[in-house]
Structure 1
Amino acid sequence: MTWEEKLAEVEYYAGKRAKEEERKHNIINSIKKLDKKGYNKEEIIDTLIAVADFTEEKISKHCNEVLTK
């Protein structure tokens, strides 16, 4: 593997990791906003599943982290 190919691989995975971090940040912010509006945990999960491409497991995990703080 040349250094150019290795660099491209590193940049690819760095970009992928950054996208995942951004998605996590978006989920957490959405949970906080819906919680402030008075939504309960189930309503938050149902709402985020309906409007975003997130899995129930991922949303539920972040809900537990955010709502128990």
Structure 2
Amino acid sequence: MKADYKNWMPKGMVTGTGCGGGRNAGELLKKYPSSHVTAIDYSDVSVSKASAYNADAIKNGEEFCILPLFI
């Protein structure tokens, strides 16, 4: 039986570490639309790719941001 986390998740913060190309971050935003999704990665290339992949969500002002991780 698959758990139904969508109905369990309260409005809040969702963080994805290691955002890679951005697909998972975009899916988190779809799965938890009432939450703020933050995706972080240590790679500037990944941050750029994830930002480009999710450009529509960012442009539409959805609760979404992609940040570099500084080590």
Structure holding more helix per residue? 1
Structure holding more strand per residue? 2
Larger radius of gyration: 1
**Structure with more contact order per residue of length (Cα contacts < 8 Å, sep ≥ 6):** 2
**TM-score, length-normalised on structure 1?**
0.32
